[in-house]
Amino acid sequence: MAQETIFSKIINREIESDILYQDVLVTAFRDILPKAPIHVLIVPNILIQNVNQVKQEHEMILGRMFIVAARIAKQEKIDKKGYRLIINCNEHGGQEVHHIHMHLLGGKKLGPIL
């Protein structure tokens, strides 16, 4: 069984977090250590550890993550100027929390990623 992370506690509201959006599939909350003026994490409510664990049955959840990212970008007024979506996977990808999550970063011109 995969190990639940701190994100499950946020989703279940067992710990404080600045939740911007929640529905039956996903939750979005502000990153505790923002790397940009706007830094939001969009996570599935169920535990999928990383992109390697993604299965056909998760299609709807993954689609919802993009829909929510676009909705929050608009809400935070960064949609026109733009933003970056990042999903890290495992050690080389820099993943620290092993509950798949999409970073939504914006609010300033971001530097090159590569």
* 99 catalytic residue (yes or no): no
80/103 with CB nearer ligand AMP: 103
In the set 6, 46, 60, 67, which binds ligand AMP (CB under 6 A)? 6
Place of tokens 């929050």: 72
The three-state secondary structure class of 21 is: strand
Site for ligand AMP in 68-107 (CB under 6 A): 88, 94-97
Q: Bin 6: left if φ > 0, else alpha if -120 < ψ < 50, else beta.
A: alpha
Q: Least distance from C-beta 31 to ligand AMP, angstroms? A: 5
3-state secondary structure at position 20:
strand
Lay out the site mask for ligand AMP across 11-50 (x = CB under 6 A, - = otherwise): ------x-----------x-xxx-------x---------
Least gap, CB of 88 to ligand AMP (angstroms): 4
Give 65's Cβ-side CA count (13 Å radius).
20
DSSP 49-67: -SGGG--GGGHHHHHHHHH
Give the binding site for ligand AMP (CB under 6 A). Answer: 6, 17, 29, 31-33, 41, 88, 94-97
Residues labelled as active-site residues: 101
